[in-house]
């Protein structure tokens, strides 16, 4: 192929195949749609509704998180939370529930790393005291904290957060739970953990026992010796 050069050559550079590939990849990444406040809301969104029934409330709370699908059909396809709604018959919590839904939805639509919401909400403590979730025995510092746990569960489902407990650790904990169940016939009716288990400061479940000389959580795997 012959190219006619009708201008004076003032410089040149050699582009390697590797550098050309990197430049093409960089160009492709700039075309990837990321979550930001300019992303318009589609007519239909994928939604998941979670139900919680705190013992401190007369009515249940229904938490709906709607997700938007970005870069559909490409290798950069990603699911990102777009908005959150909380519905309940209880009017005692109406004002802060509305405020929370608006703020969290705004953070979702702003883009960036929204996972910080989980730890912030889980760290909210009710001055009147928390409660244990019926059926699981998991301690919740407040209703707000339980909503934080719901958002964490959802983010893990869509791949925004990873489960810190690896497969080997999960198998090890399952074996220890089975071993403790065999050695201790007295179990609580609302928990899978031994009756003499104490509260874990990390996951807030009554699942810490003395195992192999160390205080070990059978739920999250946190362990302290000495």
CA distances from 76 to 8, 18, 86, 113, 160 (A): 42, 22, 30, 17, 14
Residues of the chain below pLDDT 50: 186-190
Q: What is the pLDDT of residue 14?
A: 72
CA angle 92, 93, 94 (to 5 degrees): 100
Q: What is the pLDDT of residue 145?
A: 95
Do 192 and 150 fall into the same domain? no
Tokens 């889980």 belong to which residue? 122
Residue 116 lies in a domain: yes
Q: What is the pLDDT of residue 187?
A: 46
Tokens standing for residue 141: 């510092």
Identify whether the C-beta of residue 83 lies closer than 8 Å to the C-beta of residue 66.
yes
CA angle 130, 132, 137 (to 5 degrees): 155
Do 57 and 139 fall into the same domain? yes
Q: Which domain covers residue 204, as residue numbers?
A: 167-225
Tokens standing for residue 31: 């075309």
DSSP 138: B
In the chain, the number of structural domains is: 2
Tokens standing for residue 52: 């919680």
Do 68 and 148 fall into the same domain? yes
Do 171 and 151 fall into the same domain? no
Residue 61 lies in a domain: yes
Of the candidates 64, 99, 96, the one whose C-alpha atom is nearest the C-alpha of residue 83 is 64
Is residue 153 classed as helix, strand or coil in its secondary structure? helix
- CA 190 to CA 178: how far, in whole Å? 16
Q: Which of 139, 158, 177 is the last residue of a domain?
A: 158
Please give the radius of gyration of the chain, using alpha carbons only, rounded to the nearest integer.
25
Residue 22 lies in a domain: no
- What would the DSSP string read from start to end of 97-143? HHHHHHHHHHHHHH-S--THHHHHHHT---TT--EEPTTT-BEES-H
Beta bridge partners of 140: 131
DSSP 205: B
Do 181 and 212 fall into the same domain? yes
Is residue 42 classed as helix, strand or coil in its secondary structure? coil
Residue 72 lies in a domain: yes
Within 8 A by CB and 6+ apart from 138, the residues are 132, 203, 204, 205
Q: What is the pLDDT of residue 82?
A: 96
According to DSSP, the β-strands at 46-52 and 61-70 are: antiparallel
Do 127 and 214 fall into the same domain? no
Q: What is the pLDDT of residue 20?
A: 56
């Amino acid at each position: 192929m012959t190219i006619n050069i009708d201008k004076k050559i003032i410089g040149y550079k050699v582009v390697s195949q590797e550098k050309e590939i990197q430049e093409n990849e960089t160009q492709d990444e700039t075309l990837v749609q990321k979550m930001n406040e300019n992303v318009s809301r589609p007519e239909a969104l994928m939604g998941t509704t979670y139900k919680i029934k705190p013992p401190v409330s007369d009515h249940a709370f229904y938490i709906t998180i709607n997700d938007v699908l970005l870069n559909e059909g490409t290798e950069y396809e990603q699911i990102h939370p777009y908005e959150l709604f909380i519905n309940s018959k209880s009017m005692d919590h109406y004002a802060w529930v509305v405020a929370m839904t608006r703020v969290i939805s705004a953070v979702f639509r702003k883009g960036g790393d929204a996972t910080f919401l989980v730890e912030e909400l889980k760290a909210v403590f009710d001055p009147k005291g928390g409660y244990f979730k019926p059926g699981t025995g998991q301690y919740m510092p407040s209703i707000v904290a339980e909503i934080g746990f719901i958002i964490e569960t959802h983010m893990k489902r869509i791949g925004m957060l990873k489960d810190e407990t690896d497969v080997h650790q999960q198998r090890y904990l399952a074996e220890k739970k089975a071993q403790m169940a065999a050695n201790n016939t007295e179990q609580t009716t609302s928990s899978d953990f031994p009756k003499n288990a104490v509260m874990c400061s990390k996951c807030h479940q009554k699942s810490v026992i003395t195992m192999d000389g160390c205080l070990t959580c059978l739920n999250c795997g946190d362990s302290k010796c000495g």
